[in-house]
Structure 1
Amino acid sequence: MDFARRTLLGQMARLTAGAALMPFSSLANAGINAQPSRREGDGSKRYAMLIDLRQCIGCQACTVSCHIENEAPLGSFRTIVSQYEVENEDTGDIATMMLPRLCNHCEVPPCVPVCPVQATYQREDGIVVVDNEACVGCAYCVQACPYDARFINEYTQTADKCTFCAHRLDVGLLPACVESCVGGARIIGDIRDPDSQISRMMAEHHDDLMVLKPEQGTSPHVFYLGMDERFVTRPLADPAIWDVRNSEGKEIGYEFAGH
């Protein structure tokens, strides 16, 4: 990616991160298909996640705990941590960088309006979820997601994704990935509460927050602190840490092709 384009995308990423602090009525006119009415959840809250890349060590505890908590099929993940080797443009030095990824629970989620049965919907608190009893497995939402955050669960034959562990949040618990993060890199909370940890961090680091693929206009609500501008387009990554094998022992890699 050339320097001018990377700089522009970096500026867009910061602007999009700042959009989370704008009135939601302004974001509703983002130009994406009309969104169905939200349902369920506490409308007085708006959940978001901040990932402090300065604290992420790539231990994959979040990936494993999420996989166990949500009983995802072997080889399918609701959250992953991509590993990159990044070259310093000035010195040529190589550094290893980590990039945790998950559903961005966008303010204007493109996955919601394409669902023909409204099985994918957004809660009043901003969390995007899937009603597995209604989902017909058409995969329209999988194709609509610009963050490759969805997959068809081979067990249920329905769409699957990160839900911020809404079932845990609803009873006062942290999402599995947040609870297991040894570096404290994942912070989740209500950004409508000015006293929440995530609100305080967003205020303190407002100018440094970035999001993935800001050009999509979805207003992601997963924010990154300490992210290199080269990551805003989420480049491809090689499998990291270990291999995954299926029930027959065939190596299938740690991540799906294209992640």
Structure 2
Amino acid sequence: MEKYDLIPAQLLHRGTVPVSSFFEPEPADLATIVQAHAPEYCRQLLDVALSPAMIRRIGFPLSAPLVERELRIVKGTVDGCLFAITHGVAFNVAGGTHHAGRDWGEGFCLLNDQGIAAAWLLNSAIRQRVLIIDLDVHQGNGTAQLFEEEPRVFTFSMHGERNFPFRKERSDVDIGLPDGVGDEAYLELLQYHLALIFERVQPDFVFYQAGVDVLATDKLGKLALTKAGCRKRDELVFGYCHAARVPVQVSMGGGYSVQIRDIVDAHCHTFEAAIQLYH
């Protein structure tokens, strides 16, 4: 959790983002979260009444403050969509909770912020064709499950094949990578698939899950990217979005390197890569 305070502080310290560019969301309401999740699961979550088995699956002790935090993350991503439509790109300093499925939470994810926001965009008729790019080291299994029968949302996950979750769901495109993949092979694959997917999907909105647990220094990941490679990854994604003139909302996703500085630096590089193009 420490990184969520350090990222904005570091962005301000570097002069990357002015104070005026930050916003603090209110908690999302029930009507918003049921855009993607089962109503009964949502009600139990809001009542802090999930079953012991589900709490174990999530991995956090359930509490009202934790639920409120998750609701604020969701609203930050939903609000960020409107900022992205106006400005080209918007970030949620947290979020990327891609392991939450329709009626379950998992892997420290209670609600799927980008999944809810994508459903909200479609149900509100604000956008018609959404692409979700998930480059966390862990497969976006919850996101894949949410949209497995939704043709208006295209899900792309490039992840460590032997990383959690061990039971994968089916995205529209899944690239499961072997352990130890480094910058060159990773970036070549990513560029190849981004070109094909943007041509095929023609999205009018993009969500980017920008986890930095792809770094070689990550305690939980099994890939081997450098910070420079991770930044190039971000530049590729933003380059395709910018060239296609498609707004993009970014959620930070995972990052578990031994040194907190490595995590914060890599996340800040994601902001910097976007700002170079959009501002």
TM-score when normalising by structure 2: 0.25
By relative contact order (CA 8 Å, sep 6+), the higher-ranking structure is 1
More helix as a share of residues: 2
Q: Which structure: greater strand fraction? A: 1
